[in-house]
Amino acid sequence: MAYDYSVIGKRIRKAREEKGLTQEALAEHLDVSNAYISKIERGRTPINLDRLSELCVVLEETPEYLLSGANRSSQDFLRGEIIEMLEGCSPDKIRLISQVIRPIVEYKDKDKE
């Protein structure tokens, strides 16, 4: 399985911001440089398992969330992943995506009737 380090970096940045930490504070907790944290958050450098484990402790997140978006409090982790994908889309692209998914969302399964 190949990982998209830019997406992982966005999750790390989001978790850091939710904890109210600056890049500098996170770097200090991990005993690394600010530049290293910046590179991780921008997806410019891969993160090794030891560093991922340390980040999870400091940020109080699970490796599953940071790597794949799986939310520790919800089985519906894809919802967050979809929202993250939409964040960088133009209004025209979001309109197109809406046209594609609307029939799927409105479809009534025969099993549920």
CB atoms within 10 A of CB 66: 22
For residue range 19-78, what is the model confidence (pLDDT) as tens digits?
A: 999 999 999 999 999 999 999 999 999 988 999 999 999 999 888 888 887 755 555 666
pTM of structure: 0.63
Calpha distance 57→47 (Å, rounded): 15
Calpha distance 69→82 (Å, rounded): 10
Identify the DSSP state of 44.
S
The closest of 87, 24, 18, 111 to 59, measured between CA atoms, is 18
Whole-number pLDDT of residue 75: 52
> CA-CA-CA-CA torsion for 7, 10, 11, 14, nearest 10 degrees?
-160
Residue 83: band (very low, low, confident or very high) from pLDDT cuts 50, 70, 90 = confident
Whether residue 14 is predicted with pLDDT greater than 80 in this model: the reply is: yes
